[in-house]
Structure 1
Amino acid sequence: MQPPRVLSSADDLLTRAVSQLVTRTGLPVAFGGYESTGTIVVSSVVGNRTQHLTGLGVQAARGLGGKAFVERRPRLTLDYKTSKYITHDYDRAVLGEGISTLFAVPVLVAGVPRGVLYCGSWTSASLGENTAREAMQVASELAVELRVRDEVRRHLAAFPTPSPTGVDASAKERLRAEFAEIRAISAAVDDPALRDRLSALERRLAGLAGDAPVEQTDIRLSPRETDVLACAALGATNAEIGASLSLKEATVKSYLQSAMAKLDASTRHAAVAKARRLGILP
């Protein structure tokens, strides 16, 4: 069984981020790329008037973007042609496009630079605080999506492949542990579209460990109730669940009691067992 195709590729995420830069900053041109073996390769460009930027390779520490990458902070020039603070290695591409104002923002995934996003204009003009904030927010959102994508792929790689006779007990327990971790990752994501994709993945995974047909039900647990029950299924205490999900112990207890009531279960173990029969948990 192949993993569900619910995650956008890194290139798709970059393309979307570059498009959002133009929309959200109001600047006419944006581009960006990921780092590979010390070079940031520009693979997405929006609003360009020439082909000078496409495929541009920027060495780490060189040019405006290279400095932003190694320093792990945004860099700005209001007049690229005359700036004394950049190396001008890439004048042919940047000035060939006619760019004057240029803002470069590193994409930091868990503090590690993975690429650079640029936005700019063809005239020399000051960059407003709101414009800079929007550009940095786009880079931050891209970083979050990349981190989640990395984590989900890592967990998917640990999932057992069901045999014709089903998933064995040890493999099933690993699947359940990975499911609970993905629930925790999803709970930390603010982007609604990404949460929807992760939810689709969770539903698919919840069915992988089932040995019997799933019972039909109208029972609906809230996302937090499912998060807490998934952790409880691994034998975690209320305190351990709270630490994993950044919840108070009393809040964990409340969610557990609510889930048990909905599932008509007198204990957490009975609630977990019924949730598995209903396909809510793997």
Structure 2
Amino acid sequence: MTRTAMEPMETRLIDTAISELASTSGIPVAFGGAAVDGVVAVTAIAGARTNALDGLSVSPRLGLGGQALIDARPHSTGDYGSSRRITHDYDRHILGEGIAALLAVPIVVAGRTRGMLYGGSRAPGTVGDRFAASALAVAARLARQFAEHDARTRATDHGIEPPPAAVPTASLEDVRVAYAELRSITGTISDEALRARLATVERRLAALGGVTVTGPAATRPSASTSPAVALSRREHDVLGLAAVGLTNADIANRLGLRESTVKSYLASAMTKLDASTRLQAVSEARRHGLIP
């Protein structure tokens, strides 16, 4: 297989990310790799009990990852073995490792999938909100790193000054958590003057994450050219908290809402974002620049 010049950098960063996800999220199995010539070759594996995942290469449209590779959006299944929504070309790898629930999160740069992060659980159901939020955040971080590397390479090739580095990646997750927490606090305050002051801080935090807040929702000038999605403030708040891994019960407690109301806001946001799961809703909200 022909190797691209970018692959060693991408592979190195993805290998590190897989170790990070496994150690911080508690996911039983994490694995992933860079996309080379349109195929994801798994190079990093953490938590495996067998060698079933060794040598796994995922082609477009095949398996869960192959669908995520083509769609450039996350896909998940609660019971891989019985799923009828995917092909089963990789059963000997996935089922051989004893994986039941699986999540595939693509690393997307300029509409092209450059790598994939996977998380698997040996019990049917889900891989968990904590891992899903972590995987989305890490995929977004890696996409920024790949894009920055691309920009530096282009600048060097043309003999111009490379663009400045973005906010250190380690602090971006702190920005996201602080942003979500601040929005949940602001929503409980009736003092208009204090709300205005908190809104100023909110805009500063959002800017650090690459989002410009102009009202109840936010826009990112460099985001997709698709029509802007208009979320209500509560839909925005709920998505922001879901993005950092909070459960519906946790979100309800933070915002002083009923859990059923949180589910309703999430469902409404998912409809507006054309997402079938909360994971996809968070991914789409970030793609549209609605949340950091």
**2:163 counterpart SS class:** helix
Instruction: Give 1:55 shift.
Output: 2.0
CA shift in 2, pair 1:70/1:130, >3 Å: same
Residue type of the alignment partner of 1:26: G
Instruction: Tell me the equivalent position of 2:128.
Output: 128
Q: Please tell me whether the aligned partners of residues 102 and 127 of structure 2 are also in contact (alpha carbons under 8 angstroms).
A: no
Instruction: Give 1:24 shift.
Output: 3.3
Note the 1:197-212 alignment, pairs <5 A. Answer: none
Instruction: Tell me the equivalent position of 2:251.
Output: none
Instruction: Tell me the equivalent position of 2:163.
Output: 182
**2:89 counterpart SS class:** coil
What is the TM-score of this pair, normalised by structure 1? Answer: 0.54
Instruction: Give 1:12 shift.
Output: 1.3
Structure 1 unmatched runs, 5+: 1-7, 160-177, 195-242, 244-282
**2:137 counterpart SS class:** helix
CA shift in 2, pair 1:192/1:106, >3 Å: closer
CA shift in 2, pair 1:130/1:47, >3 Å: closer
Note the 1:165-244 alignment, pairs <5 A. Answer: 178-179=160-161, 181-183=162-164, 186=165, 188-191=166-169
Q: Please tell me whether the aligned partners of residues 77 and 126 of structure 2 are also in contact (alpha carbons under 8 angstroms).
A: no
Instruction: Tell me the equivalent position of 1:200.
Output: none
**1:182 counterpart SS class:** coil
Instruction: Tell me the equivalent position of 1:22.
Output: 22
What is the TM-score of this pair, normalised by structure 2? Answer: 0.53
Q: Please tell me whether the aligned partners of residues 119 and 127 of structure 2 are also in contact (alpha carbons under 8 angstroms).
A: no
Q: Percent identity?
A: 41
Instruction: Tell me the equivalent position of 2:153.
Output: 153
Residue type of the alignment partner of 1:91: D
Instruction: Tell me the equivalent position of 1:12.
Output: 12
CA shift in 2, pair 1:93/1:110, >3 Å: same
Instruction: Tell me the equivalent position of 2:106.
Output: 106
**1:147 counterpart SS class:** helix
**1:27 counterpart SS class:** coil
CA distance in 2, matches of 1:113, 1:69: 6
CA distance in 1, matches of 2:122, 2:163: 44
**2:132 counterpart SS class:** helix
CA shift in 2, pair 1:192/1:79, >3 Å: closer
Instruction: Give 1:50 shift.
Output: 1.4
**Structure ID, larger Rg:** 1
Structure 2 unmatched runs, 5+: 1-7, 173-220, 222-292
Runs ≥4 residues deviating over 2 A: 125-131, 156-159
Residue type of the alignment partner of 1:182: P
In angstroms, what is the RMSD of aligned CA positions? 2.2
Residue type of the alignment partner of 2:34: Y
Instruction: Give 1:143 shift.
Output: 0.9
CA distance in 2, matches of 1:76, 1:52: 20
CA distance in 1, matches of 2:171, 2:134: 19
Q: How many residues matched?
A: 166
**2:123 counterpart SS class:** coil
